[in-house]
Structure 1
Amino acid sequence: MDWVNKWRPAASAMAIASCLSICPFLAATASAQQTKPNILFILGDNIGYGDIGAYGGGESRGSPTPRIDQLASEGLRLTQFLVEPSCTPSRAALMTGRYSIRSGLSLVAVPGTSFSLPANEITMAEMLHGAGYVTAIFGKWHLGDQTYSQPQNQGFDEFYGIPPGDTWDAFGMIRQGLQTKTLDIPPEKGPQIVEAKRGEPLKAVKPYTEEVRRGIDWELVDHGVDFMRRQKASGKPFFLYLPISRTHFPNLPSKRFEGASRIGQFGDSLMEGDAIVGTMLDALTELGVEKDTIVVFASDNGPDGPGASRFGADMPDMGSSGPYRGALGDVSEGAIRTAAVVRWPGRIMARSSYAMFSIMDFLPTFARIAGGKLPSDRPIDGVDQSELLLGDGGVGARDHLLTFVGAELVSVRWKQFRAYFVDVAPGRSGAGGAILLGGVGASAAAMNGYPKVFNIESDPQEDHNIGEMYNWVLGPILKAVEEYKKTLVRSPNPPAANMTKF
């Protein structure tokens, strides 16, 4: 990791009580090979609400997704799955069950900066390892490159993937450095594919080049299938976290999928991601553990937006937010609502649900199902949604969600209403920000002390500010803010991520 060292600078509720015994619905399966289910969590990257066939995309936009659609037909398809505006914040929220600002990770991690998952955070992998699981991550971590933040030091028994502080376009630094006459380093000194076992230092495997990027996901699949096969033989339950590259720019498909879609390399990449999901599902069936495994497929945030033309793409390299406004980096609905499917044959009824479900909710939900313990010394913002998953309906256990960017609390969702507290500059997509927040007939220049409120159900493009008409909505919205503020008395946040104010 010489290149990292070379460029690094010198310098909603309180904790949910953990389940102390195996849940009744698990006890009923005591005759099975194992009482704790395996967990396979496949996290897509920058897949929008409107990209997958089961969510209105797929074949209709030139890139069919039959295997994810199949998964959705066999499990619980969440239609109000909410995340954070970008990848690092969402991944921090997933791993800790907490708002990313509580970890100081409310902006995207950048190599060479000090932003890293704190050593004292309790991750999903640590919780499940404590419950008897063998844990592995193959892919993208993106929660900082400090040693204490790396996955093998945060609860995972095995790690293979790109540098833990980096994202999928890291290989471009060598070419960009040469183009700008600022860096002149050989590939072996640039970003590397790395691996590590629990508690070990990272070991470089090979340079992370453009060629490697094209095929990296199939390496992750090979590692994942081998890991599941080994754990099947050992008889231990496993947690496999597979954060794949599809559909993160640059969407350079492998040769097998080049030209597979009708919409350029984004569509090719989406179809490749679908095939990856299918391969993992087939492996579960071949290993005979399909019925013993919870499978989650989800995206970390909304899609890369309009104008995203990268690495010589023949079409804009962008996904679809479906009916919602905004994309990756915005704070509007299209950035934080995306696809998620949960399957557990014989346990989770196949259906769709409009219940509000946050990416943070997986931690307490899995703790309940696996008999794991949650920390009691810190706020846990995720809520246990096991009744929603294992029941036959229900509205879920969540009715609000806060959204942060850096140090700012920018918005709150309460039921179908979204309130904004600040006007922000347009994001990467150009569809959000001040244009979005202005509303019809309203000034985007100033808030004048009042939040702007939109009804997502009647106005998914967030064009009509109804804050004055529906001022009673501000009561429960501000109550949610006050509840969050109370948690800061006992557990203040670390300094928020910031790269512009010193």
Structure 2
Amino acid sequence: MSKDPSHPNIVLILADNLGWGELGCYGGGALRGAPTPRIDDFSTEGLLLHNFNVESDCVPTRSALMTGRHPIRTGCRQSVPAGFPQGLTAWEKTLPECLKQRGYATAHHGKWHLGDIPGRYPSDRGFDEWFGIPRTTDESQFTSAVGFDAEVAELPYIMKGIAGQDSENVCVYDLDKRRLIDEMLVDKSKDWLSRQAAAEVPFFLYHPLVHLHFPTLPHPDFERTTGNGEFADSMAEMDYRVGQLLDHIDDIGVRENTVVIFASDNGPEFRPPYRGTAGPWSGTYHTAMEGSLRVPFIIRWPGKVPKNVTSNETVHVTDIFTTILAMTGAEKPLDRPIDGIDQTKFLQNPASERSERDGFLFYIKDELRAVKWKHWKLHLVWEPKVNQSSGKLESPYLFNIMRDPKEETDILAYNTWVLQPMMRLRANFEKSLKNDPAPPDPLKNM
């Protein structure tokens, strides 16, 4: 472990499909049928962001987190089925690869979803070791599905790997293992953290949870504990698992020099019966609504980030890459555009510092859907619910999302001045794309 303040340990916990409105500290918790006391307490130990923004679904957000680059640049534009090309190209420089150059030990325990072939597993991309699933968790339903044929469809596996060695299958990922996997992941992370506490090196743990991705099924120990169904039981388990990691950080004596970040990869699921909530915001993931963009984010850094503070300043998932590198003194890649902005000053002094970011462009796949600038949101394509798109808009819709969080009243006619900074933001980004062409979409012409 590291006790050197210039080499803080980093623990990054990422929930899956956790909507803005699910946790107690974001207005949910007991109101959603499952109190979340551990994460709620954790939120009082640091800074909680109300305006943390991500990409449209699992793969784009995870690629942005690992590279500090918008997925339109990396080619990781969408989640794709098993058996199709997917993941980060070898050219991309990942967060753990950058941290390794700074002397960090690195581990990944959880859902990867950025490559499922040799050369693209976590242990090939900067992690010393990994354990989890290479793609996503709805695959746990495969072997129980009517008519499933293992000769034409890939079996899903829980896997493990060590850098410099071939990754290997551990067991088939089925519905029984779906209920057990978050417990397995916590056990792996606790063991790895204990080993790092005995070493003289700083560490980076990336722990992408499986909860609350569908099928949202709790561990047997949590079944029927809330009385409000399996989704609520799973939320209670997720809160408990996060608490286990936080307790272990305390138990091994590394709390004071460890940055702990908890966030979600995207907004809530839209499919019943696993549909979640984004609280006051409209929409789910796979849309450009605020309910897709905004997700929970909490950071604790003892002595550096103030306790029990909230902020509505805009932060983007790409910023986490750049900010972690700045916190640790690691160098960011200089041979490519990096979209993430260093937010360290803001995070350490949110009362008087402003976010370094005014806005960003929001793509779904390769289509620019919306532009967000300060408290304004411009929709170029209108799809308030998944599969209910009206296509490109002749006249875009403009919303003030502070005054109109549901994005219900278009006010462009009264505020055309806002188009100036938004179109400037768009022009500058698109100019940079011309000098940094993205890899082709492998599914576009299929």
> What interval of TM-score do these two structures reach, taking the shorter chain for normalisation?
over 0.9
Contact 2:144–2:175 (CA<8 Å) still a contact in 1? no
* Structure 1 residues 445-464: Cα deviation after superposition (integer angstroms, max 9, x where no partner): 6622x321111111111111
Code of the aligned partner of 1:169: D
Distance 2:332 2:5 in 1: 22
Distance 1:497 1:327 in 2: 25
Contact 1:406–1:497 (CA<8 Å) still a contact in 2? no
Superposition pairs of residues 318-333 of structure 1, within 5 angstroms: 318-333=275-290
Q: State whether structure 2 residue 39 is matched by structure 1 residue 68.
A: yes
Q: State whether structure 2 residue 293 is matched by structure 1 residue 343.
A: no
Q: How far apart are 1:168 and its partner, in Å?
A: 0.9
Alignment correspondent of 2:436: 491
Distance 1:58 1:110 in 2: 33
Q: State whether structure 2 residue 14 is matched by structure 1 residue 43.
A: yes
Distance 1:57 1:469 in 2: 35
Code of the aligned partner of 1:397: E
Match of 1:452 among 371, 375, 397: 397
Alignment correspondent of 1:379: 337
Distance 2:4 2:322 in 1: 24
Superposition pairs of residues 43-442 of structure 1, within 5 angstroms: 43-162=14-133, 164=134, 166-176=135-145, 179-180=146-147, 183-184=149-150, 190-305=155-270, 307-309=271-273, 317-350=274-307, 351-393=309-351, 394-424=353-383, 426-427=385-386, 433-434=388-389
Code of the aligned partner of 2:139: A
Q: 1:262 to 1:478 in 2, by over 3 A?
A: farther
Q: 1:186 to 1:258 in 2, by over 3 A?
A: farther
Q: Which segment drifts farther, 324-333 or 146-155?
A: 146-155
Distance 1:75 1:62 in 2: 25
Q: How far apart are 1:118 and its partner, in Å?
A: 0.8
Distance 2:437 2:391 in 1: 31
Q: State whether structure 2 residue 416 is matched by structure 1 residue 471.
A: yes
Q: Which segment drifts farther, 75-84 or 463-472?
A: 463-472
Question: 1:174 is paired with a residue of what secondary structure?
Answer: helix
Alignment correspondent of 1:12: none
Contact 2:286–2:364 (CA<8 Å) still a contact in 1? no
> Which structure is larger by alpha-carbon Rg, 1 or 2?
1
TM-score, normalization: structure 1?
0.85
Distance 2:180 2:116 in 1: 23
Distance 1:407 1:33 in 2: 43
* Structure 1 residues 325-374: Cα deviation after superposition (integer angstroms, max 9, x where no partner): 00121111001101010001111101111111111111111111101011
Structure 2 spans left out of the alignment, 5+ residues: none
Alignment correspondent of 1:7: none
Contact 1:34–1:235 (CA<8 Å) still a contact in 2? no
* Structure 1 residues 41-68: Cα deviation after superposition (integer angstroms, max 9, x where no partner): 0100111111010010001222100010
Contact 1:97–1:363 (CA<8 Å) still a contact in 2? yes
Distance 1:362 1:109 in 2: 24
Distance 1:353 1:282 in 2: 26
* Structure 1 residues 248-271: Cα deviation after superposition (integer angstroms, max 9, x where no partner): 111110111111224311111111
Match of 2:426 among 478, 481, 489: 481
Question: 2:414 is paired with a residue of what secondary structure?
Answer: coil
Contact 1:109–1:142 (CA<8 Å) still a contact in 2? no
Q: Which segment drifts farther, 234-243 or 391-400?
A: 391-400
Runs (4 or more) in structure 1 with deviation over 4 Å come to 184-187
Contact 2:73–2:433 (CA<8 Å) still a contact in 1? no
The alignment's C-alpha RMSD in Å is: 1.9
Question: 2:181 is paired with a residue of what secondary structure?
Answer: helix
Question: 2:51 is paired with a residue of what secondary structure?
Answer: strand
Q: How far apart are 1:185 and its partner, in Å?
A: 5.5
Contact 2:107–2:127 (CA<8 Å) still a contact in 1? yes
Contact 2:6–2:327 (CA<8 Å) still a contact in 1? no
Q: Which segment drifts farther, 167-176 or 114-123?
A: 167-176
As a proportion of its length, which structure holds more strand? 2
Question: 1:149 is paired with a residue of what secondary structure?
Answer: coil
Distance 1:348 1:123 in 2: 25
Q: How far apart are 1:395 and its partner, in Å?
A: 1.8
Q: How far apart are 1:201 and its partner, in Å?
A: 1.5
* Structure 1 residues 15-51: Cα deviation after superposition (integer angstroms, max 9, x where no partner): xxxxxxxxxxxxxxx9x45641111101001111110
Distance 2:34 2:27 in 1: 11
Contact 1:413–1:477 (CA<8 Å) still a contact in 2? yes
TM-score, normalization: structure 2?
0.95
Code of the aligned partner of 2:79: V
Distance 1:303 1:462 in 2: 17
Q: 1:191 to 1:143 in 2, by over 3 A?
A: same
Distance 1:83 1:473 in 2: 23
Code of the aligned partner of 2:376: F
Q: 1:327 to 1:446 in 2, by over 3 A?
A: closer
Distance 1:361 1:478 in 2: 22
Distance 1:425 1:398 in 2: 25
Distance 1:287 1:367 in 2: 24
Q: How far apart are 1:206 and its partner, in Å?
A: 1.5
Alignment correspondent of 1:17: none
Distance 1:235 1:228 in 2: 13
Code of the aligned partner of 1:232: A
* Structure 1 residues 306-343: Cα deviation after superposition (integer angstroms, max 9, x where no partner): x512xxxxxxx222110000012111100110101000
